[in-house]
Amino acid sequence: MPDPSLLESFPTPSDTPFVIEHIAEEFTSVCPKTGHPDFATITLRYQPRPAREQGVCVELKSLKLYYQSFRNEGIYYEAVTNTIRDHLVHAMNPTWLQIITHWKGRGGIRSIIRADHNDIPPHFRAMT
């Protein structure tokens, strides 16, 4: 099972709003129907809460280990994307957060899944 307890954070370094984007290019999980591996690139974008509001940022090694906890999990693309969003929102309580998963093609079909938390700025709303 994906393990949200792996997620660690550190205090936001600023009261000035800023956006963080992390891209993980080697995400893997397992298709629950076929048992075949699924491969994705995950883009995490978020605006941490300001330091004065005890905002936090996700620590990268913990994020990597968290993503790896999906490696042998039989889980659909949509569930992966929404689970990651929910776990990160719980761990960080960001001003807003966006997860976009780009799944490698299988059978001639590629998939892009997006899950948002709170009001995403307009220039981040397009699926990319």
Catalytic residues: 31, 38
- Cα four-point dihedral sign 38, 113, 79, 118: positive
Which residues touch 77 (CB under 8 Å, ≥6 apart)?
38, 40, 101, 103, 111, 113
Both structure tokens of 117: 């938390």
DSSP assignment of 24-39 equals: EEEEEEE-TTT--EEE
